[in-house]
Structure 1
């Protein structure tokens, strides 16, 4: 059997697809609700429907009364009256609307909250399921009046219709989200739907011309151009190691759960450098050397480059064997790289949205030792010279505070954007909007960015700190948040949503009480469900191994979840996951596509730049680790706000706005996040 899943550009669709496949055993094929233009493409739609046994109409943003939000969905219910259809959330509301029911806006929308679902009467959809099960709701619209064509099946504790079926046709619907990680009885309900479909006895064969993600890498080729060499010395202080050379790229794990610090040493006129700008395209060159435009797309180019350079060295040292980086790309990918919009210019030339340097020489440090490593053949001289320098290091000295002029965000403008967020959340256009803003820090040109970074990392050590100076763009990060890590067989994502300040009065127990409330849990849950969706686009097995756990950092306590995926036997590799998971859901909200569009308006068409992007590495052994760029400073060499005597750094901050948010509370959290960085200035 096969089932057609109609996607309304939601960020939970692939969670639903996985659940349907697991619960029913059916093959599931997905189309967007605007894939067919009617009536011109009616014949094509008829052929598609005739090839499947049932339809599931998934959730999505918007209003079922708006044609651009629902596309072909009303037509499915009105024309295909003999085929089983199950509508979820927006799909459920559309079922009721087509059959004459009325809908209204909830006075208090319910987004990412768990409700008790109480069954009413009997239906094959809920066979064997006891009344009163928990399920997660994401909706601002509810069915306020029903007609004789619709039979109510379930209600929530606040009296909202939660499930219904058509009085005659095999059309069903549920308002809640059975696919959420915190929903119960979703698999059982969908299994019942599958049995109902099986009784129709059609056993159709689906037309496989539908949506699929195409892998970027079909096969890795082992490279013979590299040769692994290393020298092991006693553990050296990271900042001092950086200062042995003029050019370095630092990924500094200054705190748990990070284990390794990586310092790449690119070589002028030799190390390959990739730059991509949304406005000027892809250019390829060498570190501190010439580059030229390449008429290719970024993702295929980078993927082919690495696919031809797979290298898994044999390493005898048990400590170094654990190091994830063995040479490869180090760099960043900006927010606008994966969320392109027309933005207000902040530089005099095209913004470098992506910078990646292929690094063959590096120093790696764990808690016990420091390793000098090269994968360049016959590089013994560099290994020996670098080792000698490490053995005669001078301690690095950090400035306590950096003089600067700071321009804080406009609070009134933030209030206006917050209020507009609430309008969109109440209208059903989004469940959560990560509203952000930026401040500007003007620093005298006599103060080097490296001195700023040293002060930053000493004041706010973090597991994903970095210092990346590419000349035209500089990133100084003290991020606590992993975005995505992967190897050949597994991947992991660690979204953070929910923050409280750490001070002398705040204990771990008190932080747990403050963070484990409906607002904070709802924010985190939405992002967990969004990330599961992103991974389920490509992977068959995704598991939440830590759900909404409080973790302690240097300046804050935060609510963290961990989602892991199984790449073993998959057609996809980690680079596919990276491409299709950007921008980070924790920095957009859900549903992602609609939320990104709304945020562009709410943030007044100003670019986020490196803030909300990702930085990290992709190693030749196909291991990678990317963090979300938060708690960070960044600078473009030709920033329009820089002067002849000062350099303008920018610092972004924001938070997830939900219907449970208060403007003052969100503003205070924004200022708290900014101050974790700004405290290094005076």
Structure 2
């Protein structure tokens, strides 16, 4: 028994797929609505339809009257009248339009809002053996995402089943209907949303209708392996299985009683002084909860591997560059094949590095990092990015991936610190490095202000976003939202900070992290790029059992008069809830592409940071090792790969939103902003944060010169139909000022 699900490039499709499978026990196969070119592929499509019991047509951006938005959907309704079909949102609108209904645009579009749905009363003589709402209360709650609606007027051969009432217009909006002759049904709302009620009951009812109808009509369903059809969406795991490595030996020294009192900035100052003022370290600094461990990676000059990739090379020949720390000018260039990417490359590399040591120290064994890749992926390394029109940021190819393989590091928690090496026969270095730390003296006055470094007569200039440009982009966002091309757009703006070139990046970072401590602070300085981050947002972490994602949507500036209680009142309003809900639903979809079990363990709770209050949700995905489940084959790296760019930085649906945002942001590369940074440990544990509240610099930035280095800082926020331009502008400045306050 199987169901065909038609995807219109929506960001909620796999929530729907999972809900169908759990509600019905059926296998669901998914295709894109443009997978077939008609009439050329008619025979192939007919063959596929003959193999399934019924069809579900999912939601998607755009209009049911636009051929490029709906693809084969009208054809399905017209040419398969004897096959049970359920249309949802765009699928529902297309069903009604195909039967002569008129559509319109809502004056006030509804995106990510919970509304009451009321069933249409049925008469005693009504034949409802195909009741889609069997077992429902007369009124129930569900989530709506739509700008287009089906007008409330008689539709030939269509029977209304449910409405929602709009008090502003004193009118009803059609929420569900069925064809009076064919087994075609539709609902306008989204049963798959985390906040919708009875979605599983609805889909179970549709499945019962399908079974009953197929039995009564004696429809024959061919028993053939559908997965052979190349149109079916199937995601091949990046790693089949890890190969245990014998190249490593885990060794450590406890330095919890060091003279720096576990002050991570002091320890980094010591490392810097020990290496003739070179920044021979990569810092992942968890200054606040939920980050428990900070990692100071200690790469070895001329030995530690660096993996680099630029999307600007993909049009000619996709390449990966390998070099050594401290000598990145000498590279080994690898030309990737057509079916390869940076993701397949690093996966194949890490596949053969797997190592799980037995760690004797009870505290140190809780540290997830034991050595591995540390670095970043830019926004442009994401799945749905088109590079064709993007402007240059650098004179050379912009670094989109920079990863360093770390075998020596310092691990610090609140009260403990350890020097660790996984290199074999590394006792001499471990002992000498530990001894040098323990014999050192504390450092004084390491946190000087940035202004104290600026020489008299030199400039430090900040070029902030233009408000008129922002307003123009905001207004265009509203146009796209009202036409249904997106439900939410994360509009961002770039700021350039021109800093005298003699001011070291480490001094900038110390100021930044002191002013704005955060759970996912990072100092990652490579030869061609530097990232100074004070991000509050975890993108994804994983171990061998589960993954966790923590999207942030909804921000209130922290002032002397702003209490936690007041922030909760301001953030628990329809606009902020809608923003967060859409990203929660999007992330669930991203995880459900590969996992069978995804749970929301925290939904829209307010968290307090040094400069802001923010609305946070937590979504967990589980790698269940059951041979009957698809998730047995996937690893955390698959989730990272297929979830980028972060949904909290794009909006939903992700693909269409990314396309729109590049247009509105004038085809500027976001670069590191909106990307992710973190680590992937060789024990297959990992933690990546979204690069926000950050500064980044490219060594060959087009805006730099001999005297000034251009540092870039992005800021933005989710635009919905409930957004107001002035308040969004102010929220964007709040986020920007959390970084720029260090220059005051």
Displacement of 1:393? 4.2
- Asked if residue 629 in structure 1 is aligned to residue 636 in structure 2, the reply is no
Is 2:100 the counterpart of 1:60?
A: no
Report the Cα distance in structure 1 between the residues aligned to 2:176 and 2:41, rounded to whole angstroms.
32
Q: Which residue of 2 aligns with 1:236?
A: 262
CA contact (8 A) 1:5 1:28 kept: yes
Tell me what 2:169 maps to. Answer: none
1:128 deviates by 1.2
Given candidates 229, 237, 246, the residue that maps to 1:224 is 246
- Alignment equivalent of 1:322, drawn from 350, 366, 377: 366
Tell whether 2:315 aligns with 1:302: no
Distance in 1 separating the partners of 2:709 and 2:435: 35
- By how many angstroms is 1:148 displaced? 2.4
Distance in 2 (alpha carbons) for counterparts of 1:525 and 1:471: 40
CA gap 1:393/1:381 in 2 versus in 1, 3 angstroms: farther
Shift of 1:477: 0.1
How far apart are the structure 2 equivalents of 1:54 and 1:196? 10
In structure 2, distance between residues paired with 1:139 and 1:393 = 63
Question: What's the counterpart of residue 380 of structure 2?
Answer: 336
Distance (Å, rounded) in 1 between the aligned partners of 2:466 and 2:573:
29
Structure 2 match to 1:107: 107
Instruction: State how far apart, in whole Å, the 2-side matches of 1:43 and 1:251 are.
Output: 55
CA-CA distance at 1:389 after TM superposition: 2.6
The C-alpha deviation readout for 1:364-399, integer Å capped at 9, x for no partner, is 000111100000011112211221232214336112
Partner of 1:357: 404
**Match 1:548 to one of 604, 609, 620:** 604
SS at match of 2:419: strand
CA distance in 1, matches of 2:443, 2:544: 39
Deviation at 1:472, TM superposition (A): 0.3
SS in 1 for 2:62: coil
CA offsets, 1:318-343, max 9 Å, x none? Answer: 11000010000000000011124231
| Match status 1:147 vs 2:203 | no
1:399 is matched with: 448
Measure the CA separation in 2 of the matches of 1:382 and 1:135.
61
Q: Does 1:181 align with 2:194?
A: yes
Aligned length: 682
Determine helix, strand or coil for the equivalent of 1:435. strand
8 Å Cα contact 1:241-1:393 kept in structure 2: no
Distance apart, 1:680 and its partner CA = 0.3
SS of residue matched to 1:211:
coil
User: 2:312 matched to 1:279?
Assistant: yes
- Structure 1: gaps spanning 5 or more residues: none
User: Corresponding residue for 1:528?
Assistant: 584
**Structure 2 CA distance, aligned partners of 1:293 and 1:597?**
31
* 1:190 aligned partner: 203
Question: What RMSD over aligned residues (CA atoms) do the two structures have, in Å?
Answer: 1.0
Q: CA deviation at 1:51?
A: 0.5
| 2:727 aligned residue | 665
Superposed CA deviations along residues 5-36 of structure 1, whole A, max 9, x for unmatched, are 00000000000000000111111000000000
- Note the C-alpha offset of 1:207: 1.5
- Given that 1:57 and 1:85 are in contact with CA atoms closer than 8 Å, whether structure 2 keeps it comes out as yes
- Give the Cα separation in 2 of the matches to 1:545 and 1:222: 33
**SS in structure 1 at match of 2:111:** strand
After the TM superposition, which of the residue ranges 467-476 and 139-148 deviates more from structure 2? 139-148
List, as ranges, runs of 4+ consecutive aligned residues in structure 1 with deviation greater than 4 Å.
none
Aligned counterparts of 1:131 and 1:335: Cα–Cα separation in 2? 46
SS of the residue corresponding to residue 717 of structure 2 reads: strand
Answer with 530-539 or 438-447: which moved more: 438-447
SS at match of 1:562: strand
**Which digits, 9 at most, give the CA deviation of each residue in 1:250-288, with x for residues without a partner?**
000011111000000111111111000012231112112
**Residue 423 of structure 2 aligns with which residue?**
376
CA shift in 2, pair 1:248/1:393, >3 Å: farther
477, 483, 503: which one pairs with 1:421?
477
Query: d(CA) in 2 for partners of 1:597 and 1:313?
Result: 45
In the alignment, is residue 118 of structure 1 matched against residue 118 of structure 2?
A: yes
Q: In structure 1, what is the equivalent of residue 283 of structure 2?
A: 250
Instruction: State whether residues 100 and 146 of structure 1, in contact with CA within 8 Å, keep that contact through their aligned partners in structure 2.
Output: no
Query: Residue 570 of structure 2 aligns with which residue?
Result: 514
In the alignment, the residues of structure 2 paired with residue 18 and residue 672 of structure 1 have an alpha-carbon distance, to the nearest angstrom, of 38
How far the C-alpha of 1:483 sits from its partner, in A, is 0.1
Contact 1:527–1:586 (CA under 8 A) maintained in structure 2: yes
Counterpart secondary structure, 2:189: coil
CA distance in 2, matches of 1:131, 1:352: 57
- Higher mean alpha-carbon deviation, 426-435 vs 339-348, is at 339-348
Helix, strand or coil at the partner of 2:248:
coil
- Tell me the residue number matched to 1:504: 560
Specify the SS of the correspondent of 1:362: strand
* Residue-by-residue CA offset, 1:557-595 (whole Å, 9 max, x unaligned): 000000000112121000000000000000000000000
State the 1:445 CA deviation: 1.2
Task: Tell me the alpha carbon deviations over residues 227-264 of structure 1, each in whole angstroms, 9 at most, x when there is no partner.
Answer: 00000022521012112143000000011111000000
Is the contact between residue 327 and residue 361 of structure 1 (CA under 8 Å) also seen in structure 2? yes
* Cα pair 2:359 2:365 within 8 Å, conserved: yes
Alpha-carbon deviations, 1:105-147, whole Å to 9, x = none?
0000000000101000345100111111000000000001441
1:161 corresponds to 2:185:
no
Aligned residue in 1 for 2:125: none
C-alpha distance in 2 between matches for 1:488 and 1:457: 31
1:676 maps to which residue? 738
Q: Does 1:45 align with 2:19?
A: no
Q: Counterparts of 2:156 and 2:72 in 1: how far apart (Å)? A: 24
Contact 2:450 2:507 in 1 (8 A): no
Name the SS for the 1:679 alignment partner.
helix
User: Which residue is 1:207 aligned to?
Assistant: 226
Task: String of CA shifts for 1:524-561, please: whole Å, max 9, x gaps.
Answer: 00000000000000000000000000000111000000
Instruction: Give TM-score, length-normalised by structure 1.
Output: 0.99
SS in 2 for 1:336: helix
CA deviation profile, 1:460-510 (whole Å, cap 9, x unmatched)? 000000000012000000000000000111000000000001111011000
Partner of 2:667: 605
The reply to whether residue 476 of structure 1 matches residue 489 of structure 2 is: no
Which one of the candidate residues 458, 472, 478 is aligned to 2:514?
A: 458
SS at match of 2:3: strand
Relative to structure 2, which stretch is displaced further, 465-474 or 331-340?
Answer: 331-340
Matches within 5 A, 1:432-447: 432-447=488-503
Gaps of 5+ in 2: 123-127, 167-171, 273-277, 314-318, 455-459, 626-631
